[in-house]
Chains A and B, each alone.
Chain A
Amino acid sequence: MFDLDRWQEIYHVLRKNKLRTFLTAFGVFWGIFMLVIMMGSGDGLKNGVSQNFGDMATNSVFIWAQQTSVPYKGFTRGRQFYYENADVRALGEAIPEIKYLAPRTNVGGFNGASNVIRGLKSGGFQIFGDYPVFDSIDPVNLLQGRFINEIDIKEKRKVAVIGVRVKELLFEKNENPINQYIQVNGVYFNVVGMFKSKRTGEAASNDNQRIHMPFTTCQKTFNMGDAIGFFNITSKDGIPVAVVEEKAIRVLKKRHSVAPSDDAAIGHFNLEVEYKKMVGLFFGIKVLVWIVGIGTLFAGVIGVSNIMLVVVKERTKEIGIQRALGATPWIIISQIITESVVLTTFSGYFGLTLGVGLLELINYLLESSGAGTEMFLHPGINFSVAVIALAILVVAGAVAGLIPARKAVSVKPIDALRYE
């Protein structure tokens, strides 16, 4: 099958009209090149947006308290209310679909006035009171030490887990922050852990400026009494978080005398819905890319088929000679199909390589310049897609050669021999 004579013939045919071969090859090259670039860009866009989620459980909902907008049970509208520790248990009991329930408090300070001091250094950071379960909902990369644990909660220990940016701003470069003390709103906390965000870009830099402390410590130290800032809840696997969201809102409304019709009193954000929208969008982009890419590729392959028809016509007499000497139709057909496959695969492989190369270059430039990581990250196509694309090329090349090949053997040998 792959003997020298065959390759000699392929070489001869492709070389005979170099410009024509080049233009034909370019059609396929361009098709696969575009497919790779578009797919890689779609992927880059997806990676860019996805990184805003980090490893966060996407089936999660945030619920916080706002002002009421409907008078109810003797309360006027515009009432400010707070969730309390008792709500946690009530929610857990009323909603079996909950997987993780993390009540949280926060002490502002992010991008604002300095609220954390260490020696002569100070900074403004966002401070959260958290339960250990929070690390299951929105995990971070612990670089050193540990996260909040149950004993911290129970004993209301004054410990803190800090982001890397906090460490950078409050500590010396080579200093080990663990077991050191920082002053949060005037109170000393022992640093027990340091983390880095799993997100990238701006989202990551926000994360890295956080300080987590035990929920109970936070409430007590900063005189919050029983108040909870907000809930972060995830649903059990396979259950839409919207179910939990709706039930939780109903329970909370009842417990805090909020009118059932009051939609403004309880703030909530369903991450799952947003995530699904995004997933849908990227699926749409992917489908579009494939349609356009395959279309372009198809046009290239039709070009190959066309040229093969011309080649077969030009070589009619020569094919006639071969048949007179005993070449069976299969030999002729496989020869022409091999030519077609070689042409498509070769040019396609070139397009694939160049496309991947360009994506790598963009990747490199993005990374070295640090630009655009917010929306666009790690453009690239995975290996299996590349293999599939190559397989498609081989098949397409074979199909492109099939019609010309059949045409070549459809005439009687004598008519081929007589062809001028």
Chain B
Amino acid sequence: MINISNIHKTYITGNNKLHVLKGIDLKVEAGEMISVMGASGSGKSTLLNILGILDNHDHGEYLLSGIKIEHLNERKAAQLRNKYLGFVFQSFNLVSFKNAAENVALPLYYQNVKRKKRNLIAMEYLDRMGLKEWAHHLPNELSGGQKQRVAIARALIGKPKVILADEPTGALDSVTSQEVMDILTDINKNENITMLIVTHELDIARRTQKTIRITDGLITEIVKN
């Protein structure tokens, strides 16, 4: 599903160059659930952003579901993100003026699905997250766990092949974190969606099939859980 080799990324800010990714090789099979760990600043988010086509890499090759990701224009990149990828962020990133259902429906909006139909589908997904009663609430009326479940529903609604989650439980307490992980593992099992989860917490990482450790821009360890 994901196949990267020798990925390099350097940030240039003013006169400073920061070589963050120093040749990452990784192969993720369809349906795998993988966690990424590493010290702060080691380059986990950078890697995930490149995989999410939110950022571009400087060197190396990236194949997403067989498609070579290189020199894409923004339109094509947006379409790939919409079709193949779902994102779950640490800070939820819900659109503040849209209610839960509208937030969930957004990816379908960009696929030109009719409003009525996409709202219906959005309700389905919210129902699966146990949030049906909260469908018409704005994000600022929801708890952190509820917000993250809305975000997961939103990531799922476009039927992506891969879900990229950057510290999805980083802002949640441990009980809620486990609930969110329950949902994610469920999805992984039942829908065979590939998952990459960046986390700092060992008990989160243990719930995935494989844990990748990044140290100083390189993969130093791959552990089966």
Do the two chains bind? Answer: yes
- Chain A residues packing against B (C-beta within 8 Å): 3-5, 8-9, 12, 317-318, 321-331, 409, 412-414, 417
Contact yes or no, B97 A9, CB < 8 A: yes
Contacting A at CB under 8 A, from B50-88, are 52, 54-56, 74-75, 77-79, 81-83, 87
CB of B115 within 8 A of CB of A324, answer: no
- Contact of B95 (CB < 8 Å), options: A4, A322, A412, A413: A322
Give me 7 other A-B pairs in contact (C-beta within 8 A), A3-B115, A325-B82 excluded: A318-B96, A325-B106, A326-B78, A326-B79, A326-B110, A326-B158, A327-B78
Indicate if B111 sits at the interface (CB-CB under 8 A): yes
B115's partner among A4, A321, A412, A414 (CB-CB below 8 A) is A4
A329 and B75 CA atoms in complex are apart in Å by 6
Do A326 and B54 contact each other (CB < 8 Å), given the known contacts A5-B109, A8-B97? no
Q: Once the chains are docked, how many angstroms separate the CA of A3 from the CA of B109?
A: 10
What residue in chain B is nearest A416 (Cβ atoms)? B54
A158, B117: Cα distance in complex, Å:
90
B78:A412 contact, CB within 8 angstroms: no
Q: Residues on B close to A: CB < 8 A?
A: 49, 52, 54-56, 74-75, 77-79, 81-83, 87, 89, 93-98, 102, 106-107, 109-111, 115, 154, 158
Residues of B within 8 A of A12 (CB): 97
Which residues on the A side are within 8 Å of B94 (C-beta)? 321
Contacts of B83 in A (CB 8 A): 326
Q: Which of these, A328, A330, A414, contacts B55 with CB under 8 Å?
A: A414
Q: Which residues of B contact A3 (CB under 8 A)?
A: 115
Complex interface: chain B residues within 8 A of A331 (CB): 110
Q: How far is the CB of A65 from chain B (nearest CB, A)?
A: 84
In the complex, A258 Cα to B94 Cα: how many Å?
A: 97
Min CB distance B103 to A, Å, is 9
CB-defined A-B contacts under 8 Å, sample of 29 = A4-B115, A5-B102, A5-B109, A5-B115, A8-B98, A8-B102, A12-B97, A321-B94, A323-B81, A324-B52, A324-B87, A324-B93, A325-B82, A325-B106, A325-B107, A325-B154, A326-B79, A326-B83, A326-B107, A326-B111, A327-B78, A328-B75, A328-B78, A329-B74, A331-B110, A409-B74, A412-B55, A414-B54, A417-B93
Which of A317, A322, A324, A331 is packed against the most chain B CB atoms within 10 Å?
A: A324
Chain A's closest residue to B94 (CB) is A321
Cα distance, A12 to B55, chains bound together (Å): 29
The CA of A395 and the CA of B107, in the complex, are separated in Å by 31
The interface residues of chain B lying within 8 Å CB-to-CB of A317 are 93
Q: A327 to chain B: which residues have CB within 8 Å?
A: 78, 110
Residues of A within 8 A of B97 (CB): 8-9, 12
The residue in chain A whose Cβ has the minimal distance to the Cβ of B114 is A3
**Residue in A5, A9, A326, A409 whose beta carbon sits within 8 Å of that of B81 in the complex:** A326
Set of chain A residues within 8 Å of B75, measured between Cβ atoms: 328-330
Q: How far is the CB of A271 from chain B (nearest CB, A)?
A: 66
Task: Using CB atoms, name the residue of chain B closest to A409.
Answer: B74
Give Cα distance in the complex from A321 to B79, angstroms: 14
| Cβ–Cβ < 8 Å partners of A409 in chain B | 74
Structural contact, A323 and B49, CB atoms closer than 8 A: no
Q: How far is the CA of A413 from the CA of B89 in the complex (A)?
A: 14
7 cross-chain pairs, A with B, having the tightest CB-CB distances, nearest first: A326-B82, A414-B54, A326-B110, A12-B97, A414-B55, A328-B78, A413-B54
Q: Report how far A146 CA is from B203 CA in the complex, Å.
A: 109
- Residue on A nearest B83 in the bound complex, by CB: A326
Set B54, B77, B106: member contacting A417, Cβ < 8 A: B54
A322 vs B93: C-alpha distance when bound (angstroms): 10
Residues of A within 8 A of B96 (CB): 318
Q: A12-B97, A414-B49 are in contact. Are A325 and B55 (CB under 8 A)?
A: no
Which residues of A sit under 8 angstroms from B154, Cβ to Cβ? 325
Q: How far is the CA of A318 from the CA of B103 in the complex (A)?
A: 12
Contact partners of A417 in chain B: CB under 8 A: 54, 89, 93
Kindly list chain A residues whose C-beta atoms are within 8 Å of the C-beta of B49. 414
Residue of A nearest to B96 (CB): A318
Q: Is the CB of B95 within 8 A of A318?
A: yes
Beyond A329-B74, A329-B78, whether A324 also contacts B110 by CB under 8 A is no
Chain B, Cβ-Cβ closest to A317: B93
On chain B, the residues within 8 Å of A5 by CB distance are 102, 109, 115
Enumerate chain A residues within 8 angstroms of B110, measured Cβ to Cβ. 322, 325-328, 331
B84: min CB distance to chain A, Å: 10
Kindly report which residue of chain B lies nearest to residue A326, judged by CB atoms.
B82
Known: A3-B115, A327-B78, A328-B75. A322 touches B106 (CB 8 A): yes
Kindly state the separation between the CA atoms of A177 and B87 in the bound complex, as whole angstroms.
94
CA of A322 to CA of B19 in the docked complex: distance in angstroms?
29
The smallest beta-carbon distance between B217 and chain A, in angstroms, is 17
CA distance A417 to B89 in the complex (A): 10
